[in-house]
Structure 1
Amino acid sequence: MIQPSLLKKQRIILAVLFVLILITITIGTGMGYSSVSYDRLIPTLLGQGTFKEEFVLFSIRLPRIIITLLAGMALALSGSILQGITRNDLADPGIIGINSGAGVAIAVFFLFFPIDAGSFAYMLPLVAFIGALLTATLIYVFSYNKKVGLQPVRLVLIGVGFSMALSGAMIVLISSAERAKVDFIAKWLAGNIWGTDWPFILAILPWLVILIPFTLFKANRLNLLGLSEPVTIGVGVSIEKERIILLLTAVALAASAVSVTGGIAFIGLMAPHIAKALVGPRNQLFIPVAILLGGWLLLLADTIGRNIIEPDGIPAGIMIALIGGPYFMYLLLKK
């Protein structure tokens, strides 16, 4: 049973994060190369703005903000699941190669397949999922031992190796491509939020609508998977079956996010850790906090990054890496 005081603390933290997200959205819409003044935000939202104000808000600012928020949520949830099923606090879809697998699949699709403008946004998450799933399967197979089961440290090390190998494969792929396509893939690699239109929101949203409730439903299974394997088997949990189902969920979430934001790492590492520090390690408590925290962190990074240097700014992936890299090193030394 979860203590009422912890539930109350979780609700307060969720409310604070929700307010922080609203404040960041408000600041983000009023800043930048194309922006709407703060006193015109509400009238424009209510349909009383000029053509320019409505175009900037509804065609430039809001789609990017919503995509960034949703992608951050997906990456945070993916990282929470991966840390739970591997019992490894260093697991993150960007660090262990899942994002790289999705990136290679997107690069192959973008470079060698005919692209239909109407279905492009909806095909990307599926293509990214296939690439990420193949990568995750190989990482899982190489890090699994019949005698001792899944080895968490081995999984991270093999994942890092895969990430580096796939990054090399990406460079080989783009070395002979035409300039316009190389520019796109380079932006993807840097974690530049590029899917900034409403169709991309419609492409990523169904994955979150289905997989967030599913993960919360499986939260108790994640708690049990965090225990030692004899104990987990003793309470009647089919370890490998649950791991595979949850691994597929984590892969789908990461793939849907990076298909529209590019190669962003560390959100899935930092958000679960901070959430656990705030409300404890029980998945029912920290996962909702991690979801909102991940969305806010990526939204904040993108808002700061695009306003440091105008008009192009610094990609959100680089901004997150500046924070996440030292944090990863700290965790590595601590563990």
Structure 2
Amino acid sequence: MSTVTLISKSEQRRTRRAIIVMTIMGALIITAFVISMNTGFIKLTPLDVFKTLFGYGTAKQELILFDFRLPRIVISVLIGAGFAVSGCVMQGLFRNPLADPGLLGINAGAGLMVILYISFFRDNQMASPFFMPMLAFGGAALTALLIYTLSYKRYHGLLPTRMILVGVAVQAGISALVIVLSLALDPNDFQFVQIWLAGNIWGTNWKFVLAALPWILLLIPYVMYKSRSMNILNLGEQMATGLGSPVEKDRMKLLAAAVGLAATCVAVGGGISFVGLIGPHLARRLVGPTHQILVPASALAGALLVIVSDTLARWAFQPSEIPTGIVIAVIGAPYFLYLLSRSK
């Protein structure tokens, strides 16, 4: 049997396994979606949910399901997928398994702009959820540019370890600035900032869903389209250039897409970290490093992580609830330390 035939059969097996894995993750997301609709301080049985979805529920049940729970669940799926794909792109571009928009300070830059906007225009007609993703993108892009500039050395290229250290330092600086600014806010805005920083999913109505959806539907397919370029970039700059790939142009386009995804998720979901770290790592272990498969698998893994974490956040301490970001941090912080201990 020829080597080409063996490679072809191996690829087919990996593809079949990836399809099975992604089908299972999709089924788990649907299951978590259904369970989340039934979870909350006011109980809705599966039968109540089914009747309400088809227009046979009471006015109270329709209010709970359509105005409160469903928007939040959909937002959880969107920001989980967005954060995970953003992290997948950054890990691929920088060839660093610890790269994550939260750890690198990208989320902090986007969050700073959102907090400034909401603090000054909360009661103004300008305070529109459709404007916030664009504002967050500006903050995230400036932060990414700063980190990229400080991490790049003329004769050595982009240094992954230096990038992590620069990102942590930038994040710390932005976080300190947010604390200083929050001291000047009135009590209501200050409380909102603290809850937002903890990673609470605060955009829980359909306006926020509509604000995030176009960005997610545009940028994730674009990243999937450019997945072959990421495979080539993973070979190293010299090899990629030798293969005829426009390295810097592709890197800038993909980085812009990753920043846009992270900024959108921060604008509607709050300061949630670790999703961009855990999602791609989990997907890579299950489906392998090929980005044509890894990108959609990362989106599914991130969506599953956030929707499960948000359901636990609403269920664990009823009638109170904790920010979703805290639940994810409980999972993500030990995993980050584990990855850090294994990295060379």
Same fold (TM over 0.5): yes
Partner Cα separation in structure 2 for residue 299 and residue 35 of structure 1: 18
Q: Does 1:295 align with 2:303?
A: yes
Q: Does 1:241 align with 2:245?
A: no
What does residue range 36-75 of structure 1 map to in structure 2 within 5 Å? 36-75=44-83
CA RMSD of aligned residues (A): 1.3
Q: Does 1:135 align with 2:160?
A: no
Partner Cα separation in structure 2 for residue 172 and residue 303 of structure 1: 33
Q: Shift of residue 184 of structure 1? A: 1.2
2:24 aligns with 16
Residues 68-119 of structure 1, C-alpha deviation per residue, up to 9 Å, x if partnerless? 1100000000000000110100000000000000111112212234654475
1:286 aligns with 294
CA contact (8 A) 1:105 1:128 kept: yes
Name the aligned partner's letter for residue 248 of structure 1: A
Residues 120-159 of structure 1, C-alpha deviation per residue, up to 9 Å, x if partnerless? 1111111111111110000000001111111111111100
CA contact (8 A) 2:117 2:127 kept: no
Partner Cα separation in structure 2 for residue 145 and residue 115 of structure 1: 45
Partner Cα separation in structure 2 for residue 122 and residue 35 of structure 1: 32
Q: Does 1:228 align with 2:228?
A: no
What does residue range 75-224 of structure 1 map to in structure 2 within 5 Å? 75-113=83-121, 115-117=123-125, 120-224=128-232
Q: Shift of residue 310 of structure 1? A: 2.1
2:4 aligns with none
Partner Cα separation in structure 2 for residue 117 and residue 35 of structure 1: 35
Q: Secondary structure at the match of 1:3?
A: helix
Aligned residues with identical type, % of pairs: 42
Q: Shift of residue 42 of structure 1? A: 1.5
Residues 162-207 of structure 1, C-alpha deviation per residue, up to 9 Å, x if partnerless? 1111110000010111111111111110000110000000000001
Name the aligned partner's letter for residue 27 of structure 2: V
CA contact (8 A) 2:110 2:140 kept: yes
Name the aligned partner's letter for residue 181 of structure 2: L
Partner Cα separation in structure 1 for residue 75 and residue 121 of structure 2: 25
CA contact (8 A) 1:59 1:197 kept: yes
Q: Secondary structure at the match of 2:155?
A: coil
Partner Cα separation in structure 1 for residue 333 and residue 276 of structure 2: 12
Partner Cα separation in structure 2 for residue 54 and residue 274 of structure 1: 36
Name the aligned partner's letter for residue 40 of structure 1: D
Partner Cα separation in structure 2 for residue 135 and residue 214 of structure 1: 22
1:276 aligns with 284
Q: Shift of residue 35 of structure 1? A: 3.7
Partner Cα separation in structure 1 for residue 138 and residue 319 of structure 2: 34
Aligned length: 335
With normalisation by structure 2, the TM-score equals 0.95
Partner Cα separation in structure 2 for residue 155 and residue 330 of structure 1: 19
Partner Cα separation in structure 2 for residue 9 and residue 29 of structure 1: 30
Residues 20-55 of structure 1, C-alpha deviation per residue, up to 9 Å, x if partnerless? 111111111112113421112222111111111111
Name the aligned partner's letter for residue 84 of structure 1: G
Q: Out of 310, 322, 329, which is 1:321 matched to?
A: 329
Partner Cα separation in structure 2 for residue 114 and residue 263 of structure 1: 18
* Structure 1 runs of 4+ with >2 Å offset: 111-119
Structure 2 CA distance for partners of 1:110 and 1:188, relative to 1, 3 Å = same
Give 5+ residue unaligned stretches, structure 2.
1-7
Structure 2 CA distance for partners of 1:141 and 1:118, relative to 1, 3 Å = closer
CA contact (8 A) 1:35 1:57 kept: no
Name the aligned partner's letter for residue 251 of structure 1: V
